[in-house]
Structure 1
Amino acid sequence: MSEHGRRAQDAEDAGGTTGRPPAGGRTDPATEAFVAHRNLLFTVAYEMLGSAADAEDVLQETWLRWAGVDLGTVRNERAYLVRITTRQALTRLRTLGRRKESYVGTWLPEPLLTTPDVAEDVELADSVSMAMLLVLETLTPTERAVFVLREVFDVEYDEIAEAVGKSAAAVRQIAHRARAHVAARRPRGGASPAETRDALQAFQQAVETGDLQGFLDILAPDVVLLGDGGGVRQAVLRPVVGADKVGRLLAAGLGRVTAASLRPAQVNACPALVLRIDGAVDTVVAVRIDDGRVSGLYAVRNPEKLAHMGRETTLRR
């Protein structure tokens, strides 16, 4: 087997985005470096794309390019790998943009069942939340790459410039513009752990009972419900706004929900409810809570976006 082929096999043995060491002890410096940074690279790609499936494809493309690099010319392996990943994600992001133009209904990010430690990193948790990923969708591809690399991963401007093919001065201007854009649209408020726990429990009880008053008591007056069925499963096609409209819609449409089929979870480092029907994940509802009330609901039903709900995903900065 060629050196390139052996490295590719080592990468396959490394086990997806989990960062497990290659099986059988077969390893080399290139494989070790890639595996060591794999969770970071996946997180970079996911934050740029909002799609775990596309992020994994980007990692495969990153590996293929990394496997052919002369490591003797690499001063900083982390920076080099992030640069490759960013370039591949930018290419994929532009393709996704065209795909989203024909998407049926609202496009929502692919939900991830995240490990508990992600929520403990406040900045990382905020950056992968459904609400923030939707804000990032309003940036241009280059603005999104610059914002993610600088604000989330604290990459130096010179390194970002190499990744996006701009001068450092241009990157600083793009970062300033993107930062202002995000600040104007960033969700406000927040909730303490106790408020989050109590609000999620109250919302889950309302879902299980279908009690309209229970919804009205826990929903914020300006709550927004977004649904993503991808044209395959039934979902609201446009945002539903206001406690009365959202409450009535939920109360009328929850006939198949039972306490046994609904479970709380951490999705994208935020509270969520996962509905299973006949043992399979049917709907993931990420819940945004501000000041003790539910202010945002992001219901993903598109089966193609539920593949990562079977196991926890480790995200890293």
Structure 2
Amino acid sequence: MTTPLNGKLVTVFGGSGFVGRYVVRVLAKRGWRVRVAVRRPDLAFHLQPLGTVGQIHAVQANLRYPDSVAHAIAGADAVVNLVGILSQSGRQTFDAVQAFGARAVAEACREAGITDLVHVSAIGADANSPAGYARSKAAGEAAVREAVPQAVIMRPSVLFGPEDDFFNRFASMARMSPFLPLIGGGHTKFQPVFVADVAEAVGRAVDGEAEAGATYELGGPQVKSFKECMRLMLEITARKRLLVSLPFGIARVLARIVQSLPMAPLTVDQVRMLEVDNVVSQEAIDAGHTLEGLGISPVTLAAILPTYLWRYRVHGQFDSAYHAK
């Protein structure tokens, strides 16, 4: 059954990406007209089937150009900013995208009188972090708070889902490599969260079901170490690989060597991020600023990973090595 349109328009920056496609689907199901603001609208046609005819449309916008941002939110009732990068390339730097870009969106909202802004950041955002990624995320949050105090900020932990860049990356590596590196010994703790749960949280926030001006930390139901995540991935893909401990110091040296390569498997900044656990804080739990606080029961890794990691098994979905366990 199709939800009737509510007559309201939401602009979603970065709506064609990994998280974006899930957020667009949730908002469409909630009856919003969705304007997807992206650098390449011609690459966003895959979003059309997520809504009814004419409900979802893409417009060109680049966070480095405030005029395009202002144009993208014209007439909108709400705004969602999902834009973020895991590594820098050319003009797409952490500061340009995650600090300057976040400020551009928030200031455009302020000028347009839009207070219903949801900004997706990340657990680990820290102005004093040695990692540029974390510092730029913190700068983006500060800019959002300054321009639109009522904005809701969402900080997810490591995301998993069919298009993720975490489990897919290491499962692909395990196809060819006889071993997998455990940076820092694999002791870093994560709280992997299903991308659809994060999208649902964003949808509820846009609909006013989150506390205005609050920062939510979104994690799944389980805290797992890097090593435990790798073991689970190898079990699901039915592959036996040696897990080799790689001290942070050595990892940073190797990262400096390979980070300039196209599609670099590791950067110095990513190594620095792994030096800090990535889990929901006790402060957020006590305040109810979590998925559970929004009335969402987070999905487990075991329920989702087998639905897409099967393609990394030697014999695919029906690999007897996996089903025999």
TM over 0.5: no
TM-score (norm 1): 0.30
Which one scores higher on RCO, CA 8 angstroms, separation ≥ 6?
A: 1
Larger Rg: 1
The structure whose residues are more often helix, as a share, is 1
TM-score (norm 2): 0.30
